Amino acid sequence: MSFLKNVFNVLTDKRDIKEPEIYKHFNEKSVTISRLTELAESNDPNIDLKKVENHLKLFTIGQTGEKNVLFELQHSMLPLVILHDVYLEYGDYAAQLDFIVITHKFIMVLEVKKMFGNIHITDKGEFQRVITKNNRIINKEGMYSPINQVERHMGILEKLLKDDGAIKNCPVTYAVTFANSKTILDIAKNAPANIQSKVIRHDQIKTFIQNELEKKSPVFMTDQLVYGIADTILKYSKEKQFNKEDYLLQTSLATQKEISNAASVPAVNQNDKDSILKKSLTEYRLNRSRELNIKPYYIYTNKMLDELLEKKPMTIEHLLEIEGFSQKKAEDYGKDLLAIISGQSPESRFPKKQHTKHIRNNPPNEKEIRSALTAFRTSHSKKLNVKPYYIFTNNTLEAILIKRPGTMSDLLSIEGIGPKKAGEFGQELLDIIKGN
């Protein structure tokens, strides 16, 4: 009976969406850009003008890229429901999604990148921006993987929709599109499969979505379900609040109360402000490295420190765009760094102590450590879409079991664990060895 009912529903339920429909419209005057423009044009001596101008430039470029993508979506002549610029807060999670595209067969998160230069993606899936002049490379720099960013956004959206009951089996997928028409995408032949199939130019969007629609799907939703999903997303969507305090000079923010009571306080110039911030970030790095018994540059390098001073990220998302800041580093140090940059005291300069009930009385045995390390290697390799031995080889695994490193220095003495791997997941390995 249920089979016949399903067949009946498929034959009778409406699927009248035949062309693109904008469900959450493109805002030509975004709140963020408008407020940043106001700050840039103000004569307020307490405003960090350099930071304002930098962020205004980034947001304006980003909006131009999103406008290009919207044009491609609107003129695709495909059955799509489109939501632009969705900011979601769900539980402890927050995500800014450039586009959400809903079809009868799947939901897609589109991450838009617009930047100057070409993009090279290595065999390992590393993203590099390449600047050329007269057919010669004049600059090449690494960039944070937009794949990691969009996968995180997709995961938050999927969890929200499933928890709400809006979807059950509907696939949620993603793509990263580069919106500069002059950008050349150079993807290595041996790059991870998810990157080769999910990174496109914005003029390839129609073909890409069309190919996805031709694939088999576990669902073929009615219009009612499609609109229901869109309404659920809008229900959780919020206008991201613009915080002017993020753009106040550090000294101005720290002494706001004193200034209101004082006759006059001379403004601190930009160089002095940057020097104070650099000192705070350097002290934080040193203190954390001593607590964790690692070298300061494992927290963040001098190059990363310089980028923190230049870009002054105001969110975790902005922090992750700085080369070298992995998801793990952002989780470990992100809140503290953002607090320092905004002129506040970090919530905790010291790691939280574990409750006694979480501490094992006896250290784990070799079998338990081997099992945990193997499981970590498997899950981490799947996450990065690489072979397990790229995380660490069996020889490295055996060396870890023999030496049982207790500190980051001990871990670095093991063949196969270099500074990069130690920075990415070294602390997790040490926690496994300790049984935490």
In the predicted model, is pLDDT for residue 175 greater than 50?
yes
Listed ranges 106-115, 244-253, 324-333, 353-362; the one with the highest mean pLDDT: 106-115
CA distance 169 to 280: 49
In a 3-state reduction of DSSP, which class is residue 27? coil
* Cα gap 231→233, rounded to integer Å: 5
> In degrees to the nearest 10, what's the CA dihedral of 11, 17, 19, 24?
-150
- Cβ-contact 300, 308 below 8 angstroms: yes
Measured distance CA(420)–CA(414) in Å, rounded: 13
The predicted structure's pLDDT at residue 263: 43
Reported as a pLDDT band with limits 50, 70 and 90, residue 28 is confident
150 closest CA partner among 192, 108, 187, 104: 108
pLDDT surpasses 50 at 2: no
CA-to-CA dists, residue 425 to 46, 234, 324, angstroms? 40, 36, 13
Nearest to 384 by CA among 194, 144, 244: 194
Question: Per mean pLDDT, which range of 146-155, 253-262, 326-335, 382-391 is the poorest?
Answer: 253-262
**Which pLDDT belongs to residue 267?**
47
Least confident of 123-132, 153-162, 179-188, 326-335: 326-335
Cut 0.85: pTM above it? no
Of the candidates 227, 224, 95, 98, the one whose C-alpha atom is nearest the C-alpha of residue 159 is 95
Domains in the chain, CATH or no CATH each: 2-238 (no CATH), 249-253+267-341 (1.10.150.80), 361-434 (1.10.150.80)
The pLDDT value recorded for residue 422 is 78
